[in-house]
Structure 1
Amino acid sequence: MSVVAENLVWGVKRRTIVADVSLTVASGETLGLIGPNGSGKSSLLRLLAGLRSPLSGRVEINGQDIAQVSRKALSRQVAFVQQSAATDTNVTVADVVCLGRTPHRSALAGWSEGDEAAVNRALDRVDMASRRKQAWQTLSGGERQRVHIARALAQSPQVMFLDEPTNHLDIHHQIEILRMVRDLDVTSVIALHDLNLAAMFCDRIVVLEAGALRASGTPEEVLTQDTLREVFRVTAHVSGASANGRPHIRFISD
């Protein structure tokens, strides 16, 4: 399922946060959003997912303007994974993942075999089936992120938007989660801080600076020494294609 954004503009009061951004994500593609802090990555993700309405411009998912789609109908197609979530409620892993079935159920409908099957599939895909009865509060940060993704998968989405899903995780869990997302049979848009992880796991990358689209293309096309210097204000050496066919960035201290 494809995602197309045309001339998106959004801001608060007199401050423009997303400035005339247009992009296309092909069906099944993993697109990375990178940029300095405050570049508009999270705001753009929420516009693409329909969680915010642009001041101007439009977003189409599979050729349909999402402004013309109800929130519940859109939630059957699109899932959003935020950076982190906390709760003091005494819930289990399964309780959290079951929330992903909300868009598919009416107010009076009971829990169905289809709902249970969707939850089980989601837990299996993130390797958390054995933890389904475990209390949420006892999970590690990486395990909680996998449960967040399982809840999104329980929606049976065709598009996933993920806002810094590896934030505050150790490198093992960062790689584990991004590999899992890349291997899912969905279209994905992921905001990331780590440029080498973006190079490893994204088919294409969009660079944002001050809310505007600065560069777009494959990791090899986008992650250049000039772009890193001009946008991120760092000096770096970018090697040629590594063993996995992706560039590698080595930052150089002054």
Structure 2
Amino acid sequence: MSVLAENLDWGVGRKTILHDVSISVAPGETLGLVGPNGSGKSSLLRLLAGLKRPRAGLVTINGKSVVQVPRKALSREVAFVQQSAATETSVSVLDVVRLGRTPHRSALSGWSAEDEAAVTEALTRVDMLGHRAQSWQTLSGGERQRVHIARALAQSPRVMFLDEPTNHLDIHHQIEILRMVRDLDLTSVIALHDLNLAAMFCDKIVVMRSGSVFASGTPAEVLTEELLREVFRVTAEVNCITPGAGPHIRFTP
């Protein structure tokens, strides 16, 4: 499914947070959102997922405006993984991931074999099947993040939006989660801080600065030494170690 944002404006009160933002994501493509803190990445993700309404502009998924599609119907197609979530309720990992099946069930429907298979597959993909009976309260930050992603996968979405999904994860699970998302048969938009991970796993990158799109293109086109100096205020060397692969960034003191 394609994702298209045209001339988005959004803010809180009199403060403008996003201005004239336009992006497009082709079906099956993985797009990375990068930029300094406060550049508008998280706000843009919420607009794309239909969780917020823009002041101006339009977001469409597969040609349909996200603000006009009923929430439950949209949730059968779109999953959103936020940076973190907390609950004081005593629930198990399995309970949390089962919530991902809510958009596919009616109030009177029983738990089906299809639901069970979707949950089991989701837990397996994030390497948490062995923790399914464990209490949410006893999980580490990284384990909770993997459970969030499993819940989203249990929705069986065709589009996934992920806000800093590698936060709290060790490097092994950072790579495994991003590889898994890239290899899924869906369209994904991922906000990331790690530019090298973005270069490794994203087909395209959009660089945000001060609520607007500063640059957009392939990792090799976008992640240049000049852009890193101007947007991120760092000095770095950018090299393509493997022909055909994304660039590698080596930050210098």
Q: Same fold (TM over 0.5)?
A: yes
Secondary structure of the 2:4 match is strand
| Structure 1: tracts of 5 or more residues without a match | none
1:61-140 matches, within 5 Å, as 61-140=61-140
Secondary structure of the 1:79 match is strand
Once the two structures are TM-superposed, the CA of residue 115 in structure 1 deviates from its matched residue by 1.7
Confirm whether residue 35 of structure 1 aligns to residue 23 of structure 2.
no
Confirm whether residue 56 of structure 1 aligns to residue 93 of structure 2.
no
1:205 match? 205
Stretch moving more, 57-66 or 121-130:
121-130
**Distance in 2 of aligned mates of 1:107 and 1:19:** 40
Once the two structures are TM-superposed, the CA of residue 40 in structure 1 deviates from its matched residue by 0.2
**Distance in 2 of aligned mates of 1:122 and 1:244:** 31
Percent same amino acid among aligned pairs? Answer: 75
Secondary structure of the 2:124 match is helix
**Distance in 2 of aligned mates of 1:118 and 1:176:** 19
**Distance in 2 of aligned mates of 1:139 and 1:242:** 38
**Distance in 2 of aligned mates of 1:34 and 1:118:** 31
Give yes or no for contact 1:34–1:205 (8 Å, CA) kept in 2: yes
TM-score, with normalisation over the residues of structure 1? 0.95
Letter in 2 for 1:251: F
- Count residues with an aligned counterpart: 253
**Distance in 2 of aligned mates of 1:88 and 1:186:** 33
Question: Structure 1 residues 157, 224: CA separation in 2 closer, same or farther (over 3 Å shift)?
Answer: same
Secondary structure of the 2:111 match is coil
Stretch moving more, 222-231 or 129-138:
129-138
Letter in 2 for 1:183: D
Once the two structures are TM-superposed, the CA of residue 200 in structure 1 deviates from its matched residue by 0.9
**Distance in 1 of aligned mates of 2:187 and 2:53:** 21
Letter in 2 for 1:222: V
**Distance in 2 of aligned mates of 1:168 and 1:94:** 21
User: Over aligned residue pairs, what C-alpha RMSD do you find?
Assistant: 1.4
Confirm whether residue 166 of structure 1 aligns to residue 169 of structure 2.
no
Question: Structure 1 residues 66, 130: CA separation in 2 closer, same or farther (over 3 Å shift)?
Answer: same
Once the two structures are TM-superposed, the CA of residue 86 in structure 1 deviates from its matched residue by 2.2
Confirm whether residue 235 of structure 1 aligns to residue 232 of structure 2.
no
TM-score, with normalisation over the residues of structure 2? 0.95
Letter in 2 for 1:106: S
Confirm whether residue 45 of structure 1 aligns to residue 45 of structure 2.
yes
Stretch moving more, 167-176 or 14-23:
167-176
**Distance in 2 of aligned mates of 1:37 and 1:134:** 34
Secondary structure of the 2:67 match is helix
Give yes or no for contact 1:242–1:248 (8 Å, CA) kept in 2: no
**Distance in 2 of aligned mates of 1:240 and 1:120:** 39
2:9 match? 9
Stretch moving more, 166-175 or 208-217:
166-175
| Structure 2: tracts of 5 or more residues without a match | none
Once the two structures are superposed, residues 132-152 of structure 1 have per-residue CA deviations (whole angstroms, 9 ceiling, x without a partner) of 212222323322222111100
Stretch moving more, 40-49 or 55-64:
55-64
Once the two structures are TM-superposed, the CA of residue 118 in structure 1 deviates from its matched residue by 1.7
